[in-house]
Amino acid sequence: MDILNYAFMQRALLAAVLVGITAPAIGIYLVQRRQALMGDGIGHVAMTGVGLGFLLSWSPVWMATLVSVLGAVLMELIRWYGKTRGDIALAMLFYGGMAGGVMFINLAPGGSNANLTSYLFGSLSTVSESDVTAICLLAAFVVLVTVGLRRQLFAVSQDEEFARVTGLPVRALNLLTAVTAAVTVTVAMRVVGLLLVSALMVVPVAAAQQLTRSFAATFAIAVALGVGVTLGGTVTSYYQDVPPGATIVLLTIGAFIVLSLLATPLARRRARALAAAQPAGDPAECTIPATRGAADEVGV
């Protein structure tokens, strides 16, 4: 295991594990509230932060955190007060963020789009000592929120209207979700890159869902998968000299495909067990199959 003898690889592996934990941990709530692509949107906005970091000679990680948190809060506000159509406003935010990033980095002395590439697609081997500190602090925040407030976040993401009537501070929790997602994007930026961040937030959750019936199990399996693929991808990229971000994302999608194939017989067995448990001759109690055919739907 000569891989652990290099300080840069130690930092890379630590960053990779933290991303593997945090991305699915917040991603599961985004998937639950059917905002799976929010991470992608925040990633675009974060580019402006990276560009500003270069222009002002500040840490691009902290600047990206600041800008993507502001962007995420803005997205939440657009969702509340949606005067313009939400998706149009969001589109402007996404592409404005990307254009801002390209503009600022080219305005920076000696800056070019080449500087941006390591943030767009990740550059694990150049993770510095101070990057690791920032990533550790941000990851601790994400874990604290996603685990500590799991019941509240579950309730709000499952049914926002009902959550409000239970007296939960729904707006504050929505803002917290948005901020946490933004923080996660910047944690993952150096590992998988801004353009691939969303994959690590969404795909492990989608893969875990193939096997699970409960939220708790989905959470646990998604995080375990996240750690597995980020570690596997980092080690593979070290030995095979392939880009870590792309390797991690392809491994995640591979895991999704394998679990989907494994899940088919499992689902069939569960359906049989359920059918056996139901009293016979009671048509009112039959269950809706997980996949309904087109003939089951009636237009209105």
Partner 1 sequence: MSDESVISLRGVRAELGSRPVLRGIDLTVRRGQVVALLGANGSGKSTAVRTIIGQVPVTAGEIELFGTPRRRFRDWARVGYVPQRTTAAGGVPATVTEVVSSGRLSRARFGVLRRADHEAVRRALGEVGMADRAKDSVNALSGGQHQRVLIARALAAEPELLIMDEPMAGVDLASQEVLAETLRGQVAAGATVLLVLHELGPLEPLIDRAVVLRDGCVLHDGPPPEAVGQHALPGHDHVHPHAPAGAEPARTGLLS
Which residues bind to partner 1, rule: CB under 8 A? 28, 31-34, 36, 149-152, 154-155, 157-159, 161-168, 205, 209, 212-216, 218, 274, 277, 282, 284-288, 290, 292, 296-300
Rounded distance between C-alpha atoms, residue 31 and residue 253, angstroms: 16
Residue with Cβ nearer partner 1 (79 or 150) = 150
What is the Rg, in whole angstroms, of the alpha carbon atoms belonging to the chain?
Answer: 21
CB 256 → partner 1: shortest distance, Å? 15
Phi, psi at 53, each rounded to 5° = -60, -45
Residue with Cβ nearer partner 1 (21 or 163) = 163
Task: Give the CA count within 13 Å in the CB-facing half-sphere of 199.
Answer: 22
Angle at 13 (CA atoms; ends 8, 203), nearest 5 degrees: 135
Residue with Cβ nearer partner 1 (213 or 241) = 213
CB 261 → partner 1: shortest distance, Å? 18
Residue with Cβ nearer partner 1 (63 or 142) = 142
CB 258 → partner 1: shortest distance, Å? 19
Residue with Cβ nearer partner 1 (129 or 296) = 296
Burial class (CB in 10 A: 0-12, 13-18, 19+), 267: middle
Q: CA separation (Å) from 205 to 26, 198, 234?
A: 10, 11, 20
CB 91 → partner 1: shortest distance, Å? 19
Residue with Cβ nearer partner 1 (98 or 202) = 202
Residue with Cβ nearer partner 1 (204 or 245) = 204
Burial class (CB in 10 A: 0-12, 13-18, 19+), 151: exposed
Rounded distance between C-alpha atoms, residue 224 and residue 204, angstroms: 9
Task: With beta carbons less than 8 A apart as the criterion, state whether 194 and 120 touch.
Answer: yes
CB 209 → partner 1: shortest distance, Å? 6
What is the residue type of 257? I
**Terminal alpha carbon distance of the chain:** 63
CB 42 → partner 1: shortest distance, Å? 18
CB 259 → partner 1: shortest distance, Å? 13
